[in-house]
Chain A
């Protein structure tokens, strides 16, 4: 199917199905990706949730009689600006008035709202929202525009070619006739669906590429935005869960009489992941949980410590793992020389620690199950809930709310906290809405962490100082093992998320070897903003810096030469170096470090400037260059660069989750430290102009700061820090 084709679906199907009562029209937009999947074509068509009298030309927008445009977002807004970006794509081709566009979260439905990069699954992750929607949503807007224009042409009896649309107004210049979208909505709905749509030449973009306002700002500024935590339903109960003290511990006794005596506590229910206290409000549930006495069988619980694990990983790294990449004869070349640079890098377990701790609302009745949640993986959770309750997926309705941050946490293939809420709700009387809230302590201790990793590297240089051989071994848990993604994303024993960013190291090195050990542990792990790159960028970009220094060469010049065949890496590297005054003299105790890394098809370079004073690292300035193809909203991109870097800075300098005989030692923000305002550096962001298709911006800034910073600390102090969070030797 050609890019711009729109398939006119049978109207009868929808009218007969009763989905559209008045608008009477719909069309399906079939992206190429979907067309290749058997069975998905017919289902891919649909309509947006619409009221009587509205024009709902497809699943992604509707226009009401007042002319207001509602864009339906298939992706979760968790701060990354996707509601704004997706609406921009529709509004651009619709020629809508941006002020009259609002956004609504889509219901969970893989047939209409799937992520085109993920097959038959709806979900937000891997920085794919704009990238997978770019053509789809522009086509949705363009189709609606053509139908509005056709309706006007028919009404005014003028040629279609003489009509133009400007900011939500359809105009015929010669006759001076004008009509708003609302006036034409009903007539547009009875227009035939265009067989093909014409998309704008990028030179004609009015909204794409502009710093237009975010759609979610106002309600997040006045406190009215609805997060899961904020939903209040009649008769709703609140539950807190007492989780086991160690992963794998089982409940063996519950003394609940004191808890049940707390005013407001109504039930104590046992669930697979612990014991839940159900109460009228949060505070009663909290007091109830404090009063609850549970004894645990810890005979099979995990009881190892982080340092012990690291030692085991260290031993493992000395043995051959599963080969992920093998160019030339790296191992042999290294065996034949004495001049080998060897290093070990490591990173700890990390918690996502979104400001909104995990929470979920569930109501189960005869018709099925209804959920209110900020979902990163709608249809995965939908299927998991349906399976647990013995329902069909479509009987599980999910209301998509804003997520108060997520960073990967609300995209769990195990659907952990969602199922936890369902386990509680199903033990309550039918129809009672149940809000499960995790406390910060639960959120920190109940698992699903960025895994701990250890890397061992060896390299040698050629006479010119270029890396001749590079041998790297990665040790760390597989995120995808045991999940539904395993079959697609674990190939020949290599979990791609464990090696991404390392297996595709872009530097020109003739002899390159990378292998992987994926030890299995009962510590639950998950993707964490930028996933594999969180460690591979730190390691690769620090080690290449070590090689540059060993070669006695400037770190930027060294990278430049080795990236000759990678123009987009070079583009951001050169831009960041130039804007950061790379090479300009700095004061005593100061240093500058650089790193460049591609993740999710976006290219980011950062130059960090630090001052080390009395043993403390102060980050003074960070210059960021990004190449993400067409910049849909430069202001949102800039915000994601600032924030994504800041998120990475927490991990680079402060955050560390430590296991001590199986117990998570941290519990809240006093001991699991994240970045504060006084620790935020000056940030400058530069966007490389590009006509390439847009790629993600939510994640790619995050992994680059740790190596840039470590390299800057080396420049300032001569100390090469190879473990995160970075700690200077005293």
Chain B
């Protein structure tokens, strides 16, 4: 039996400890905001937090997640996370939307460390999150807008 804490809620699951966290979250907990797209940590669509740090859940075995705080897009309720989501809405970042949970998780993690990221910081933090619709221009603008708002400035 594996004990997992997802979005603050405890879950006991009888699953193979080698199963990637992604599939426990999607198929067994039923939280589907975290997406499967590549399965090999090449696209970032499955990004969740383990103790606040972004990881690719498609290659993270359940055994690694046991005892840690797991956060998914559904549980993203920090001030930074909300600021990112608001900026995404304000700038209409999304198109197909499939990668956006992962984009928002990575962007929030970046802004949690650094509210004034440079373009190079954004490139480094976000270049593992693919968007086939190429919403990148607005993702970049969204990160900057959220950062400005978090710093108390006017956008």
Contact = CB atoms under 8 A, between A and B. Distances in A.
Interface of A: 78-81, 213-214, 216-227, 229-230, 232, 238, 263, 281-283, 353-357, 402-407, 437, 439-440, 635-636, 639, 642-647, 649-650, 668-670, 674-678, 680, 682-683
A281 B95 contact: no
A263 B35 contact: no
Nearest to A84: B92
Chain A CB within 10 A, most for which of B20, B34, B95, B122: B95
Which has the most chain A C-beta neighbours within 10 Å: B20, B38, B40?
B38
B96 A354 contact: yes
Contact of B94 (A214, A226, A356, A407): A214
Contact of B89 (A218, A357, A439): A218
Interface string B17-56: 0011001001110111111111110110100000000000
A221 B96 contact: no
A47 to B, nearest CB: 29
Contacts of B88: 217, 221
Q: What is the interface residue range for chain B against chain A?
A: 35 or more
Given A79-B133, A282-B36, A223 B74 contact: yes
Given A281-B27, A647-B134, A677-B136, A223 B39 contact: no
B111 interface: no
Given A79-B97, A405-B133, A639-B135, A668 B89 contact: no
Contact of B33 (A222, A282, A643, A676): A222
A223 B34 contact: yes
Nearest to B27: A281
B132 A645 contact: no
- Most chain A beta carbons < 10 A, residue from B20, B45, B94: B94
Contacts of B99: 355, 404
A418 to B, nearest CB: 19
Residue of A221, A229, A281, A283 with most chain B CB atoms under a 10 A cut-off: A221
A279 to B, nearest CB: 10
A225 B45 CA distance: 14
B101 interface: yes
Main DSSP-derived SS at the B contact region: loop
B136 A646 contact: yes
A216 B94 contact: yes
Interface of B: 16, 19-20, 23, 26-28, 30-40, 42-43, 45, 72-74, 85, 88-89, 92-101, 104, 122-123, 126-140
Nearest to B123: A678
B133 A643 contact: yes
Q: 10 nearest interchain CB pairs?
A: A223-B33, A646-B134, A404-B98, A220-B97, A79-B96, A79-B95, A223-B73, A230-B32, A678-B123, A680-B136
B98 to A, nearest CB: 3
A406 B97 CA distance: 12
28 contacts: A79-B94, A216-B94, A217-B92, A217-B94, A218-B89, A221-B89, A223-B31, A226-B32, A229-B32, A229-B35, A232-B30, A282-B36, A355-B37, A356-B98, A357-B36, A357-B37, A404-B35, A406-B96, A407-B132, A440-B39, A635-B92, A647-B132, A670-B40, A670-B42, A677-B139, A678-B123, A678-B127, A680-B134
Contacts of B31: 223
Contacts of A437: 36
